[in-house]
Structure 1
Amino acid sequence: MQDDIQNEQLTVTYFTHGLQHTIQGKKTAKGYRFNGSSNKIINLATLNWPPYISEELCNKGWVFQFTVAILVSKGYQVNIHFYPWARSVMLVEKGQMDILFPEYFIESSAPSDIVLGKKRRELLVLSNKFSGGELSLLKRPDYSFDLQENLGNLTGKIIGVVRGYQNTPEFDAVMDSKQFSIVEAVDELQLVKLLVAKRVDLIIGDPKVFTYSINYSSLSNRNKQALLNGIEIVQPALKYNHLYFAISHSYPQWSQLLADVNLALLEFQQSGESDRFIKVGSGCTLDL
């Protein structure tokens, strides 16, 4: 079984200047590797976050495919490692890996939980943005709650958050001032379970990720449906969050890497490649 995992073959296809490029990758002990002949080696830390990126998706998700294409188009060897998000943050902020993705925008004032006394933006530099998704509060259908614009009625609530996530500057400021209590979870599926079990009043995240995390879980269909029926999006959404690559300042050529990533993002946007990756999506259908 281990040999099957190590020999897993992956294909990423992208277009530049009207030419099709197909890259074969494989899972190794050092992550999912593409363009292995290049000596410009990049190690990336990420998380399972369907439908954007996940080892459970048939092609690992559009953000996985997009990231491989962006970096390989500039000649880099790509090694993508999946971890719980808090560990991914730690590895990149400590300089043990080179890129953290997909990341939300990081405010210049945001402190690092990993390197005490440092701001996150002292440890990481953000690429230009690419497409992301909505960030919303979710509640139980029988829980009466209307969101106030200034978030004032979050005071005294118990809210579930994923450990290590940025949310919105406004929400995180209220959270840091301890106006409400938080319960930390390792991922979105655990958050939904906390909400449905009435351990928390609200949870925060991308609604698409909550839905996909339930559908791609190992739960029975009956339990999946119970969780799906047990959550409701609070309107309006808090924010549309773009996604970013966060590059470690510890990477020796971080400035060149940043320039290469930003140029590739621009080229893919102008050529329509970015939209094509999103349209193709995970390339998977749910079997429920």
Structure 2
Amino acid sequence: MVRWRSMLLACCLSSMGLSTAKADTLMLTSLLWPPYSGQQLVEQGASIAVARAALKVMGHQLEVDFYPWSRAVKLASMPNSDYLGYFPEYYFETEKFVFSKSIGDGPLGLVEQKAHPVSWNYVEDLNRYTLGVVKDYVNTQALDRMITTGVQPTEAVTSDEHNIKKVAAGRIDAAVIDVNVLHYLLKQKPLQPLAEKLQINRQILANKQLYIAFRNTDEGRRWRDIFDQGLAQIDVETIIGELLYRED
């Protein structure tokens, strides 16, 4: 009986230990979006390196699972999901998520053919062009508003790579893309032959801040606060700069 009680106590303590370890591990979803995130990238990408460093300084761990973007967002929004958020994301108005402090930024622009550049001064000028966008990506408020109201012609695809190919083939006039993402993708073997034909438009749409979107629950807000405390204690720019340079 004594031995049985000892074994039971050991099992209980072990279970408590596992529970504590699990509570100290934040689970998030992400996508393949180099150089910011990707399972095969150095440190899984610049954004994930920042997030992991911020949690580490607070004594916690980060576990990231990678999915196509729409699924990554959906999984993070489900009430019973183990995932408490997703990233990297641009800020947008929502009741489903609360956002961390900025984990970095990236210039959002238009990839175009060098031979046929897009000419515009005001965002409304883009209405005369057909733009490629990625399904469920947030762009800029002004551009997304025009897309929603139907005044901006667009074609939605599932990846930046697809949009790059469509621009190069002349099937669309330009596509919305993060400048760092474009530079990374054009250095990869499948898209290298297109690099000579393409460029970023001379005018940037916006310099967008990147965030973690935490589910808007007590637990999500608790982790958001923990994360922000850790973020304030690390050098975000240095972490990002070193990884972007290494990915180049």
Return the TM-score normalized by structure 2. 0.84
Question: 1:258 and 2:224 equivalent?
Answer: yes
Question: 1:133 and 2:106 equivalent?
Answer: yes
Aligned mates of 2:119, 2:245 — CA distance in 1:
36
Which protein has greater RCO, CA pairs closer than 8 Å, 6+ apart? 2
Partner of 1:243: 210
Shift of 1:282: 4.7
The answer (yes or no) to whether the contact 2:90–2:210 under 8 Å persists in 1 is: yes
Q: Secondary structure at the match of 2:233?
A: helix
User: Greater Rg, structure 1 or structure 2?
Assistant: 2
After superposition, what is the alpha-carbon deviation per residue over 1:203-258, rounded to whole angstroms, capped at 9, x for unaligned?
A: 001121012123235x2xxxx332111212112201100111100124x4222212
Aligned mates of 1:87, 1:235 — CA distance in 2:
33
The answer (yes or no) to whether the contact 2:111–2:175 under 8 Å persists in 1 is: yes
Partner of 1:226: 193
Instruction: Please tell me the residue identity of whatever aligns with 2:152.
Output: F
* Count of matched residue positions in the alignment of Structure 1 and Structure 2: 227
Shift of 1:40: 2.6
- Percent of residue pairs bearing the same amino acid type: 23
Instruction: Please tell me the residue identity of whatever aligns with 2:233.
Output: E
- Structure 2, unmatched stretches of 5+, are 1-19
Superposition pairs for residues 132-211 of structure 1, below 5 Å? 132-149=105-122, 151-211=123-183
Question: 1:45 and 2:38 equivalent?
Answer: no
Aligned mates of 1:161, 1:234 — CA distance in 2:
15
- Please state which structure has a larger fraction of its residues in helix: 2
Partner of 2:85: 99
Partner of 1:67: 51
Runs of 4 or more above 6 Å deviation: none
- Please state which structure has a larger fraction of its residues in strand: 1
- Structure 1, unmatched stretches of 5+, are 1-35, 109-120
The answer (yes or no) to whether the contact 2:132–2:174 under 8 Å persists in 1 is: yes
Aligned mates of 2:97, 2:128 — CA distance in 1:
33
The answer (yes or no) to whether the contact 1:39–1:77 under 8 Å persists in 2 is: no
RMSD of aligned C-alpha atoms?
2.0
Aligned mates of 1:144, 1:279 — CA distance in 2:
30
Q: CA distance change for structure 1 residues 184 and 142 in 2, over 3 Å: closer, same or farther?
A: same
